[in-house]
């Protein structure tokens, strides 16, 4: 039985991915900061719940090493994280540091625990949920986008480090997803209209954002398809926006996107 270790499994993409992999006959080690949020995950076959606060380096060591001692893990999914959205100058230092502790340092330290295991077995996959904000700079995403680009940089570097060992390293890239994704700081001050236009862009003509169930299927695809591929947009809407950005390039896109945000023709 194949096994996946998931961080941030209590909600959103992490929760739906836990359910989807379990339904495909995988063993899932679903980790979360608050075990009370496990809910029905505890009743699913082949799902093991473990505590993991990715800002607690000692707990990272304990939980990861316990899981690795008990199971031959095939896939790591770094999924724990949250967002903040605000004009850059209005983000308190404490909020920036807290964001990086979770999204960047937590991801890095969990990944470090798994690399020797995957190198020794000369197979496996390290997947990390980054964001479209890691690819496209968005207003009020100065801190969050920087954190996600740090994750993206780690993914791309590790791709080359671990390729000789047969270990896949991939980025799962959500855009707007219909989840209870946490944004404890969401400051619109001075950017109310721009934020509305940005949301319209991210919806790409849809009434709502894609469900996290769609992302779970893409995570499973990335874990099992055997492709030599780094970036996986996790839904059809994000894929459309990602491919548009890649085809246009930064300099052309900034003109196009500025026109959308500020409702000007160029």
Domain containing 40 equals 3-191+208-246
C-alpha distances in Å from residue 79, one per residue of 42, 105, 148, 155, 265? 19, 13, 12, 13, 39
CATH number at residue 185: 3.40.50.720
What is the domain count for the chain?
A: 1
- Asked if the structure places residue 128 within a domain, the reply is yes
Contacts of residue 198, Cβ cutoff 8 Å, sequence gap at least 6: 138, 139, 261
| Cα–Cα distances in angstroms (integers) from residue 44 to residues 106, 171, 232, in the given order | 27, 27, 27
- Are 47 and 28 contacting, i.e. CB atoms less than 8 angstroms apart? yes
Q: Mark the ranges of the chain whose per-residue pLDDT is less than 70.
A: 179-182, 264-266
pLDDT of residue 180: 63
Question: 256 in a domain, yes or no?
Answer: no
Residue in 20, 71, 82, 144 annotated catalytic: 144
The predicted pLDDT at position 73 comes to 98
Asked, for residue 255, whether it belongs to a domain, the answer is no
Q: Is residue 101 part of a domain?
A: yes
Please state, for a pLDDT cut of 70, what percent of the chain lies above it.
97
Q: How high is the pLDDT of residue 6?
A: 98
Residue 39 within any structural domain of the chain = yes
Q: Say if 197 falls within a structural domain.
A: no
Q: What is the largest CA-CA distance in the chain?
A: 60
pLDDT of residue 179: 67
Give yes or no: 144 in active site: yes
Q: How far is CA 95 from the centre of its chain?
A: 19
pLDDT of residue 182: 63
pLDDT of residue 185: 85
What is the CA angle 131-224-33, rounded to 5? 50
The answer to whether position 77 is within a domain reads: yes
């Amino acid at each position: 039985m194949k096994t996946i270790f998931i961080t941030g499994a209590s909600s959103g993409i992490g929760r739906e991915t836990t359910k989807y992999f379990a339904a495909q006959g995988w063993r899932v080690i679903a980790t979360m900061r608050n075990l009370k949020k496990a809910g029905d995950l505890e009743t699913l076959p082949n799902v093991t719940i473990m505590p993991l606060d990715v800002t607690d380096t000692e707990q990272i060591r304990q939980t990861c090493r316990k899981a690795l001692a008990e199971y031959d893990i095939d896939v790591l999914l770094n999924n724990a994280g949250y967002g903040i959205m605000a004009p850059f100058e209005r983000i308190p230092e404490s909020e920036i540091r807290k964001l990086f502790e979770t999204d960047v340092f937590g991801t890095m330290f969990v990944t470090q625990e798994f690399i020797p295991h995957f190198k020794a077995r000369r197979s496996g996959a390290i997947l990390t949920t980054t964001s479209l904000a890691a690819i496209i700079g968005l207003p009020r995403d100065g801190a969050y986008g920087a954190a996600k680009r740090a994750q993206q940089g780690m993914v791309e570097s590790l791709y080359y480090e671990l390729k000789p060992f047969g270990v896949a390293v991939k980025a799962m890239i959500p855009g707007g997803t219909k989840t209870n994704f946490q944004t404890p700081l969401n400051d619109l001050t001075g950017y109310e209209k721009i934020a509305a236009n940005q949301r319209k862009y991210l919806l790409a003509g849809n009434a709502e954002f894609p469900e996290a169930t769609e992302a779970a299927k893409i995570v499973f695809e990335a874990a099992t398809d055997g492709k030599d591929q780094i970036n996986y947009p996790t839904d059809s809407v994000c894929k459309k926006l990602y491919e548009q950005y890649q085809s246009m390039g930064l300099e052309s896109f900034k003109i196009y996107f500025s026109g959308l945000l500020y409702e000007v023709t160029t």
